[in-house]
Chain A
Amino acid sequence: MIQVDALNKHFGSIHAVKDVSLEIPTGQIFGLLGPNGAGKSTSISIMTGLIDCDSGSVALNGLNPQSKQARFKIGLIPQSIALYEELSAVDNLSFFASLYDIPKNKMSERMDWALEFVGLSDRANDRVSQFSGGMKRRLNLAASLLHDPDYIFMDEPTAGVDPQSRNKLFENVLKLKELGKTVIYTTHYMEEAQKLCDKVGIIDHGQLLALGTVDELLKQYGGDTKVSISSEQGVQHFESGDVSQDLLEALKKSNKVYDISMHRPDLETVFLNLTGRQLRD
């Protein structure tokens, strides 16, 4: 379990993380959503022990993320392609594996597994500079899994990725969950969160605005379903919290119905309702 308690972090006058508290049970995929500059990466950086917080605490099964013991359990997939472009995939993996005291006889086994996991076994000896953006993203993930971490922090792992590679990454994330890993996934692509995450937190201006399962958030922040009925009397629009009841009532009053359309709230609606529609640059 990951326990985050009243985290605060300032960068000069900017209050980047404000009193963030949450709990992520082991084996879940947790989505941390927020617009650009909301505080997602800073929160991840604190949770992985990359930077110190000003106040509050993080515990990974009771361990301080900056402790050596915890570091063996953390896998970080940074937002940038954190690889050496001039080295081959194998050279990259070999270097990162060497940082984790992996026994020599297990190292090649782990590297083979990681390459196979992300579908890059046949490109193992090619230089990263020759890879497509999607391949680099997948290798970026592989490099973080060599030491078989329990907590996997993925900071916007699908940025600039083609649909095929994105789909492969989704498969990887779900597979990691199957393997019992806890995944913390930051993104601003709502469909990804809706598809993958067991639990979601929405953060903006450093504050955690909402926390719960997708259904809970939809119910709480999504608003009513938008219904449109086209009939002889014309087009009728209404919003409904109880669609089956309200639709039945509306149909009783309509002659010769041509079309019915419904727009159920999704996570994007929730997100925009919570964070507003103002542009973030």
Chain B
Amino acid sequence: MNKMLALMKKDFKLLFRDKMAVFFTFVFPLVFAFIFGSIFSGDGGGSKALKVAVVDLDQTEQSKAFVEQISEADEFTVTLSTEEKAKDLVRRGKRVAYFILPQGFGEDYKGVFAGSPPEVLVGIDPSRKAEAGYLEGSLMKLGINRFEQAFSDPTAMTEQLDASIAQIQESDDIPDEWKSLLNDYLPKMKELTAQEIGNGEGFGFGGEDGAENPMMPLKVTKQEEVVKRSGPQNAFAITIPQGVIWAIMGCVIGFAISIVQEKTLGTMNRLIVAPISRTQIVAGKALGCFVAQIAVVTLLFVVAYFVLGVRFNLPKLILAAVASGICFVGLMMFFASLAKTERSVAGITNAFLLMMGMVGGAMIPLFVMPGWMQAISNFSPVKWAIVAFEGAVWRDFSYGEMMTPVLILIAIGVVAFILGTRMVKLEQA
């Protein structure tokens, strides 16, 4: 075991002396994941409108007008929906929130001076605190518009005042002193409004945007809708597994070349003549490749967790890392057995892995591939490695579901390793 560790330690020393190899093994995959993650996450200057589902249960003139306001607002991208469908969209993470305008919304909307403010039910995941605050503020801004409309349209104002006077007279909740005051104030207001109609002019209320109005523009009632995490949490959840694959491919190429290089340098002859078995030599190389893969996977996921906010299931991630490690160690050994020179092993390994990477989802995420390409991808070990990592990150695989990619990866690895170790000639030609 000590000799195998010595071999591994030496290979790591050689790897870290080669700055380009370090870059392509450890840094490039991070850069890849970060750049593509940023592009796909929309932080690169795209629309910041929040996707919301809107449900109009009131179906009054006022509710429809309010829905229209929401739809036209820059802050929102609106999908009109039923209550059930809206809730489902939020739970599945397809929409940030839903707005429900309940029955009676229109009636309350009209009552500027009496009654309750119109209620909007907002369903949002409790973890999305920042979006929740933004949503409430945006809705309030739209709600304020109802005052502007009321005070800028004397006819509507007259109607509002009539309705309010009637409500006040019927209401038992309002104290007598208030009733008397309002009964005195509102008819005078109505008189003034009638004059304004005669002048053909509108009038304002308070500040320019009505923000100084002490009355509530809307009553926002929040409803918690816990999102079922069935999709990627963010774009990095997709690009990190892809970055991991690039890192693993870097390890495979590096170690396949190192085996051939030992032969061309003649150092393999020293190893063979030394009291170390061929199995130990091969195992030392395999161990080095495996540990290098685990190291890059660890590095990438630590960065993903602490910097990019990617969450994952650790035991399943370990399972995915070990299975892909076995698979790509086997492939490394197989590639090393095919070539006699560093150049040819680099060529063979690059060509194979790039092709497997292309069809396997290392460049384009699997779920956006057309059906025929997804079918082809089944033949790529890269696909199964990505599926395994995604299973631990965002696909929310059960252990049973993890077994499919894990067993396929191990099987590929074992077959390739056996073929490779049988075919590889350690002696210098």
Q: Which residues of A contact B267 (CB under 8 A)?
A: 82-84
The one of A48, A79, A86, A87 in contact with B273, judged by C-beta atoms closer than 8 angstroms, is: A48
Write the B1-27 contact mask toward A (1 if CB under 8 angstroms, else 0): 011001001100110011000000000
Contact B266 A82 (CB under 8 A): yes
Contact A78 B17 (CB under 8 A): no
Chain B residue nearest to A65 (CB atoms) is B273
Contact A96 B270 (CB under 8 A): yes
Contact B265 A80 (CB under 8 A): yes
Chain B residue nearest to A73 (CB atoms) is B275
Any A CB within 8 A of the CB of B355: no
Any B CB within 8 A of the CB of A72: yes
Any B CB within 8 A of the CB of A68: yes
Using a CB–CB distance below 8 Å, which chain B residues touch chain A?
Answer: 2-3, 6, 9-10, 13-14, 17-18, 265-267, 269-276, 427-428
Interface extent on A, as a size class? 20 to 34
Q: Which residues of A contact B273 (CB under 8 A)?
A: 48-50, 71, 74, 76
Contact B272 A50 (CB under 8 A): yes
Instruction: Report 17 cross-chain contacts, Cβ distance below 8 Å, ordered by A residue.
Output: A48-B273, A49-B273, A50-B272, A72-B275, A78-B266, A80-B266, A81-B266, A82-B266, A82-B270, A84-B267, A91-B10, A91-B13, A95-B6, A98-B3, A99-B274, A99-B275, A143-B270
Provide the main secondary structure of the chain B interface: helix
Using a CB–CB distance below 8 Å, which chain A residues touch chain B?
Answer: 45, 48-51, 68, 71-72, 74, 76, 78-84, 86-87, 91, 95-96, 98-101, 143-144
Q: Which residues of B contact A87 (CB under 8 A)?
A: 10, 13-14, 17
Q: Which residues of B contact A71 (CB under 8 A)?
A: 273-275
Decide yes or no: A98 and B270 within 8 Å by CB, A68-B275, A72-B275, A86-B17 being known contacts: no
Q: Which residues of B contact A100 (CB under 8 A)?
A: 274-275
Q: Which residues of A contact B276 (CB under 8 A)?
A: 99
Which 3 pairs from chain A and chain B are nearest by CB? A82-B266, A80-B266, A98-B6
Contact B274 A86 (CB under 8 A): no
A114 shortest CB reach to chain B, Å = 14
Contact A96 B17 (CB under 8 A): no
Chain A residue nearest to B280 (CB atoms) is A99
CA distance A80 to B261 in the complex (A): 12
Contact B17 A99 (CB under 8 A): no
Q: Which residues of A contact B9 (CB under 8 A)?
A: 95
Contact B10 A84 (CB under 8 A): yes
Contact B269 A78 (CB under 8 A): yes
Q: Which residues of B contact A84 (CB under 8 A)?
A: 10, 14, 265, 267
B388 shortest CB reach to chain A, Å = 34
Sample of 15 more A-B contacts, CB < 8 Å, known A80-B428, A82-B269: A48-B273, A49-B273, A50-B269, A50-B273, A71-B273, A71-B274, A76-B269, A76-B273, A81-B266, A84-B14, A84-B265, A86-B14, A87-B10, A95-B10, A96-B274
